[in-house]
């Protein structure tokens, strides 16, 4: 990405501060419970790693791979599970950790799939929410930041599998979005 194509939206320091706040809220809400974090791959792995270090509770973590974007900037609307959970979540308190809620279609599908597995409770923590693109309303119990209708990369989020390693979150202008 060329410098002229990037505009920083959130610095690493802003992200770290918000992750600490989310971790404190989650720690308070789940005190005395056995929390299982479900990290949605690939985009949320960086956020999930920082978040679990900010949660001051014993917890388990599992990973679930979903794909709805391919290499484009628009959701295809078709969700595909690319990696399933390694263990049952029945009777567990489950927190889905997602990178971004855009249309809500992917998260709605995931919530439906996980509810069918019988967790004691199921909540959502998303780093970002883009309400301008929402098609299906979904609950977001813990939210990092609300953003405008822009395509973002960094801190685990990608464009065609690139830019996940940026330490902040940036807007990418590749000419495909208005």
List 50, 71, 84, 102, catalytic entry: 102
Q: Are strands 121-129 and 142-146 parallel, antiparallel or unpaired?
A: parallel
Q: Could you confirm whether 93 is annotated as catalytic?
A: no
* Cα–Cα distances in angstroms (integers) from residue 47 to residues 53, 99, 154, in the given order: 10, 7, 10
Scored b (16 or more CB within 10 A) or e, 34-46 reads ebbbbbbbbbbbb
Both tokens of 100, joined, read: 């971004």
Residue 114 burial by Cβ neighbours in a 10 Å radius (0-12, 13-18, 19+):
middle
- Which residues are within 8 A (CB) of 144 and not within 5 positions of it... i.e. 6 or more apart? 15, 18, 19, 22, 47, 126, 127, 128
CB 68, CB 78: distance < 8 Å: yes
Q: Name the nearest CA neighbour of 31 among 50, 61, 59.
A: 59
Active site residues: 102
């Amino acid at each position: 990405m060329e410098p002229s194509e990037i505009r920083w939206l959130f610095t690493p320091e802003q992200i770290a501060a918000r992750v600490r706040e989310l971790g404190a809220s989650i720690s308070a809400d789940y005190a005395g419970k056995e929390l299982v974090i479900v990290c949605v791959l690939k985009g949320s792995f960086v956020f999930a790693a920082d978040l679990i270090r900010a949660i001051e509770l014993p917890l388990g973590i599992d990973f679930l791979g979903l794909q709805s974007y391919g290499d484009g900037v628009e959701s295809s609307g078709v969700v595909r599970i690319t990696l399933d959970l390694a263990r049952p979540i029945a009777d567990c308190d489950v927190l889905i950790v997602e990178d971004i809620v855009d249309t809500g279609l992917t998260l709605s599908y995931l919530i439906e799939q996980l509810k069918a597995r019988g967790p004691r409770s199921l909540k959502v923590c998303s780093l970002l929410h883009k309400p301008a693109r929402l098609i299906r309303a979904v609950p977001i119990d813990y939210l990092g930041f609300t953003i405008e209708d822009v395509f973002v990369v960094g801190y685990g989020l990608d464009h065609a599998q690139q830019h996940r390693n940026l330490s902040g979150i940036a807007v990418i202008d590749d000419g495909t979005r208005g």
